[in-house]
Amino acid sequence: MAERSSPDYRHQLTLRDVSEASGVSEMTVSRVLRNRGEVSEKTREKVMNAARQLGYVPNKIAGALASNRVNLVGVIIPSLSNMVFPEVMMGISKVLDATPLQPVVGVTDYLPEKEETVIFEMLSWRPSGLIVAGLEHTDAARRMMENSGVPIVEIMDVDGNAIDAAVGISHVRAGRETATEILKRGYRKIGFLGTKMPLDHRARKRFEGFEAVLKENGLTLAAEEYYSGGSALGKGREMTANILKAHPDLDFLYYSNDMIGAGGLLYCLEAGMDVPGKIGLAGFNGVDLIDGLPRRLATMDSCRVEIGKAAAEIIAAEAEARGTSPHAKRTEISPIFATGDTLRDA
């Protein structure tokens, strides 16, 4: 990795870059970005469009600190209600607690435009690093991170191109391994239950890996059921009832996460179904919730604490070495499949 002071490292944009791109003076650019002074709407629009196209983020601490950097680490996640991300934060905190760095959280609700806004605000404080869930972002968000001059670690996923560093599991691999385990146990009429996936890229990649293995074995999904919104036990119950009513011959249900999988398991047991003899079930994530179910749901542990720790270690090492610490661009952590009590023996 090139040193941050070297010409090979990402260029950190300045007011001059925005001035040249917009065709107005640096003083006018400063007024627009600080929302100070009288500036025409036409000029304001020119400056803001140029800043957006460049990926420029104003520095809110310029001149306030000799280091031009604060001991904050921005952590940008899609949700706090999803049980997955508090565990990621736990891993981040375990590492940063031993350093002067302090995590600050921003939530995007899985909305690309909101993520863009949160990234803008986080970077304007010139944090010591930024940890962002996922590899997919708007073009403007990518430009801001590429030109920020601070360490960027994208987490949870390694199936794609990272801006700087990526730490996570391969969701394509996770989907493939789950499908392999299911087929190994003789299940053939398989239904999928999950979130609508245009914005949940990690779920989409698992689904693609899962379907690819079925296709390689001459099979296709027998049924699919989708929902929108946050994961919940109630949704899992409802979806399971719907899919089994429409397709009573299914012998396996694959859930995109453990929360709806847990609801599905409770529905099947209350309905007196033979689990896993007549129908098998599996979820994803390995959350602690499933330990309290009447039977342990088969799942794949997505190693959330480990991902958080590894990401924070990169940021901490960069801060300690003042940007000269080399790190792996791609850190893949292997997901762990747990058979639980909802799969037949292989």
Q: pLDDT for 121-140, tens place per residue? A: 999 988 999 999 999 999 99
- On whether the CB atoms of residues 88 and 305 are closer than 8 A, the answer is yes
pLDDT of residue 297: 96
The domain spans of the chain are 1-56, 61-169+305-335, 171-302
Please state at what angle helix 258-270 crosses helix 233-246, rounded to 10 degrees. Answer: 60
Residue 61 belongs to what H/E stretch?
none
DSSP 291: G
Does the model's pTM come out above 0.85? no
pLDDT of residue 9: 45
Distance CA 179, CA 23 (A): 56
Q: Are strands 165-169 and 152-157 parallel, antiparallel or unpaired?
A: parallel
pLDDT of residue 324: 56
Residue found by looking up tokens 């601490």 in the block: 61
Please state at what angle helix 41-54 crosses helix 139-146, rounded to 10 degrees. Answer: 70
The residues, any chain, with a CB within 8 Å of residue 19's CB and separated by 6 or more, are 25, 26, 28, 29
pLDDT of residue 88: 96
> Please, what CATH class does the domain formed by 1-56 belong to?
mainly alpha
**How far apart, in Å, are the Cα atoms of 46 and each of 18, 34, 200, 219, 284?**
10, 15, 34, 55, 47
pLDDT of residue 34: 74
DSSP 285: B
Q: Do domains 1-56 and 61-169+305-335 have the same CATH topology?
A: no
Residue segments in the chain with a per-residue pLDDT below the cut of 50: 1-9, 64-66
CATH homologous superfamily of 61-169+305-335: Response regulator (3.40.50.2300)
What's the fold here for domain 171-302? Rossmann fold (3.40.50)
- On whether the CB atoms of residues 169 and 332 are closer than 8 A, the answer is yes
Q: pLDDT for 255-271, tens place per residue? A: 999 999 999 999 999 99
